[in-house]
Chain A
Amino acid sequence: GEQVEQLPSILRVQEGSSASINCSYEDSASNYFPWYKQEPGENPKLIIDIRSNMERKQIQELIVLLDKKAKRFSLHITDTQPGDSAMYFCAAMRATGGNNKLTFGQGTVLSVIP
């Protein structure tokens, strides 16, 4: 099945700087790549996504890049704030029969230092 590798597992950045999280996947049939932010005790929240027909997407301070050839995608948070501190997950989805199977990366704990 699909495997998604996510790095780094821990990321500490100064407030106002940028944070980058990288993911790679194996299955070339994966066509949808969401990113989630999870705060302690809460469920994961979808924050941005990109489909395989795009290379770049930006929502405010969040930028996602997708390189289908290399099977890599990444999340960049510009001008980080303490409120960005959380666990972040990338995921890759492919449709298999009636199931849209979502495979998650191992997560990145982001700490933004004031």
Chain B
Amino acid sequence: AQTIHQWPVAEIKAVGSPLSLGCTIKGKSSPNLYWYWQATGGTLQQLFYSITVGQVESVVQLNLSASRPKDDQFILSTEKLLLSHSGFYLCAWRAEVFFGKGTRLTVV
């Protein structure tokens, strides 16, 4: 069975500080991986997707970047956080199913 692990579970970060969120999937080779973002109380938006190592496509511009350094790993990052980055970040290996527990980010 496939398992997806996201880290950290929660973060409180200062405006202007860097951020790195991680996602690892096990039990699935060459998965399509996705990052989603949900503002508090809001809907979900697809941010990035990756179909192979080293290749990432941006769907929505939110001053974030993503990388796929390994087949089973997907990283979301920024060098300077904004208040608007607060929310819930979800990683998925299929576009329509969420296996990750998510990372709750609060920017203060």
Contact = CB atoms under 8 A, between A and B. Distances in A.
Chain A interface size band reads 20 to 34
Given A43-B90, A43-B101, A43-B102, A100 B44 contact: no
| Interface secondary structure of A, over-half rule | strand
B43 A99 contact: no
B43 A105 contact: yes
Interface residues of B, number: 21
Interface of B: 32, 42-46, 49, 51, 57, 59, 88, 90, 94-98, 100-102, 104
Interface of A: 32, 34, 36, 41, 43-46, 49, 89, 91, 93, 98-107
B79 to A, nearest CB: 25
A105 B46 CA distance: 12
